[in-house]
Amino acid sequence: MSNSPDPAPIRMSEPLEQRAFRWVLFAGLLIMVAANAPGHLSFDSVVQLFEGRHGVRQTWAPPLQSWLMGIFDEIVPGTGLYIAAIGLVLTAALASMVRLRDRSSWAAVILAGAMVLSPMVLVWQGVVWKDIAYANLAIGAFVCLAHAAHHWGHRRATLLPLAGALILFACAAQMRQNGLVAVLVGALALGWTARVEGWRKALGWGAGGLIAVMVLSSLIGIIAQPKGSSSGEDSRKGLRVVQHYDIVGALAHDPDLDLAIIGKASPRALEVIRTEGLRVYSPDRVDYFAQSKTLGKVLWPLPDKVVSAQWRDVILHHPGAYLAHRFDVFRWVFAQPEIELCLPVFVGVSGREDMLKDLKIPAGVEPQDQVLANYATWFYYTPVYSHLAYALVALLVGLTLLARRDGPDMVMVGLMASSLGFSASFFIISVACDYRYLYVQDLTAMAGVLYLALDPPVAQIRALIARLRQGG
C-alpha cells in the first residue's frame, strides 16, 4: 500500500515557476557565499577551526563541527568551503521540495526570494556556528524523510532519501546536545508514514529508525572525537555550567534559599555564592560569572556529587525559586526584551591571537562585513527578528498541513513540531539569550511557509471550515 502514486517519470520540461523557485534558492546561496566568504568566526569558531586543523581538543562543545571544519580546511584553508557546503545542504533541501507536490505557485518563488534576502539567510548562513549547521542538517533530514514518505511503498524510490535522512539526523544529533529532539520526532514521523502497512510495521520502522540514527550518531561521535579527549568529560563540563547557573539563579530569586549541601562541603564557596554570585547574576547570560575573580575559583573545585546534589535539592525542594529563575532565563532567550544584548548578528573575525596567527587568519571587521551588520539592524524589533513570530508561524503551518495530512505533509508537521520542541528544551538548558540558539525555529518556519506556498491545501481548509460551521 502506498501514500502516493507510482513515481512520476522524469519530465523533460518543468513548469517555469518550479525552475524559478530553484534558481532563486541557488542564486541566494551564491550571493550568501560571495557576501560572507570566507565566513564570520567568533572566539568559539576560531577554537573549533584550530581544533579541526590540528586534531587537539580545545573545547567541550560537540566535536563534529570541528571535525567537519578540519575536513574542508584541508581542501581549501579557512572556512569558505565549509559555509558553502553547509549552505548547500539547506538550499538543496528547499529546492527539492518542488518534487513533493504535484504543482507549484509563483507565490513560492516570491517568498523564496524574500527568504534568501532576509538576514536570517543572507547574513546568518555565513556565520561559522554549530547552531546554523544544526538548523540546516535538521531541515535537510526532514525533507529527505518527506521524500521517502512521498514514495512510500516503492522501496527502491525510498532507499536514497531514507539513507539521506539517516545521515543528516545522525549528524544533527551530534551537532547540538539537544538535537535529540529532532531525532525523536523524526522517528515518530517515520512510524506514522509506515502506518499504511499496519501498526506493527509502523512501530518497527519508528523504533528501528531511532536505533539506526543513534548507532550511526555514536559512531560519528567516536570518529570525530579528537585523540586524548572524552565525550563524557565534555558533557560533564556542559552540565556543570547549567548547574552553577541554576543554583546561583535560584538564590537570586529567593535570597533566603538554603544551600546547605554546598555550605557543608565548603563554607567559603557558599559565602562567595551569596555575595559574588548574586552580584554578577543576570538572566540574559551566564557569561557575567567570569566578571568575578573568585566565583569560578570556588565553584569548579567543588566535587561533581556535591554540585549535583545541591542542584537536585534546589529543583525538588525549592521549585518556586528554580522555576522563577528558569522562566526569567527563557523569557530572555525566547522574547528577547533587549535584542541588542542577545547578539542578534555577528560579523568579522575575533578570537585568541595565538590561534589566529597559527591559522593565518586576520582578526577584525571588513567594510563589507559592516555593511551586512548594518543591513541586519534594519530588521531589529520587527517580526523578521522575532522568535515568537516564527513560533506562531511554525504552529500555523503545522495546523494547516494537518488539514491535508498526506505523507510529506505529516513529515513537515514533524519538522515544525521538532523546532518548537527544540526551542522549548531551552527552558531547561539555556545559559544565554544569544539569538542563534533558536535560529532553527526561525529557519524551519520559513521552510514551512515555502512548502505551503508551493501547493496550499485550499480545498481541504475550506472543507474543514465548512465542517466547523456545520458543527457550530
pLDDT digits (tens, 9 = 90+) for 93-144: 999 999 998 888 999 999 999 999 999 999 999 999 999 999 999 999 999 9
Q: Is pLDDT of 232 > 80? A: no
Q: Is pLDDT of 152 > 70? A: yes
Q: Are the CB atoms for 311 and 246 separated by under 8 Å?
A: yes
With pLDDT > 70 as the criterion, what percentage of the chain qualifies?
Answer: 93
- What is the residue whose three cell numbers read 471550515? 465
Give the DSSP H/E element, type plus range, for residue 180: helix 180-193
Three-class SS state of 61: coil
CA distance 142 to 152: 15
Q: pLDDT band for 29, please (50, 70, 90 cuts).
A: very high
Residues whose CB falls within 8 Å of the CB of residue 438, separated by 6 or more in sequence, listed in order:
333, 334, 387, 422, 423, 426
Strand-pair partners of 285: 432
Q: pLDDT band for 74, please (50, 70, 90 cuts).
A: very high
Supply the pLDDT for residue 92.
98
CA distance 362 to 351: 10
Q: Is pLDDT of 471 > 90? A: no
Lowest mean pLDDT among 104-108, 246-250, 448-452, 461-465: 461-465
Three-class SS state of 432: strand
Q: pLDDT band for 238, please (50, 70, 90 cuts).
A: confident
Helical axes 407-429 vs 439-454, angle rounded to 10°? 160
φ, ψ for residue 303 (rounded to 5)? Answer: -60, 145
DSSP 383-440: GGG-HHHHHHHHHHHHHHHTTT--HHHHHHHHHHHHHHHHHHHHHHH--B--GGGGHH
Q: Are the CB atoms for 52 and 70 separated by under 8 Å?
A: yes
143 grid coordinates: 525533507
Residues whose CB falls within 8 Å of the CB of residue 97, separated by 6 or more in sequence, listed in order:
143, 146, 447, 450, 451, 454
Q: pLDDT band for 10, please (50, 70, 90 cuts).
A: very low
pTM here is 0.92
Of residues 158 and 470, more confidently modeled = 158
CA distance 437 to 87: 18
Residues whose CB falls within 8 Å of the CB of residue 67, separated by 6 or more in sequence, listed in order:
52, 223, 224
364 grid coordinates: 577584525
Q: pLDDT band for 55, please (50, 70, 90 cuts).
A: confident
Q: pLDDT band for 3, please (50, 70, 90 cuts).
A: very low
Supply the pLDDT for residue 170.
97
Q: Are the CB atoms for 283 and 325 separated by under 8 Å?
A: yes
Q: pLDDT band for 228, please (50, 70, 90 cuts).
A: low
Of residues 210 and 59, more confidently modeled = 210
Q: pLDDT band for 8, please (50, 70, 90 cuts).
A: very low
428 grid coordinates: 531547561
First to last CA, the chain: 36
Q: Are the CB atoms for 40 and 32 separated by under 8 Å?
A: no
DSSP 336-359: -SSGGGG-----SB---HHHHHHH
Q: Is pLDDT of 468 > 90? A: no
CA distance 172 to 190: 17
**Diameter over CA atoms, the chain:** 77
Instruction: Report pLDDT digits (tens) over 381-419.
Output: 999 999 999 999 999 999 999 988 888 999 999 999 999
Instruction: Report pLDDT digits (tens) over 342-362.
Output: 999 999 999 999 999 999 999
Supply the pLDDT for residue 58.
73
With pLDDT > 90 as the criterion, what percentage of the chain qualifies?
Answer: 81
125 grid coordinates: 548562513
Supply the pLDDT for residue 5.
47
Q: Is pLDDT of 80 > 50? A: yes
Supply the pLDDT for residue 54.
87
Q: For residue 21, which of 80, 72, 89, 95 has the smallest C-alpha distance?
A: 95
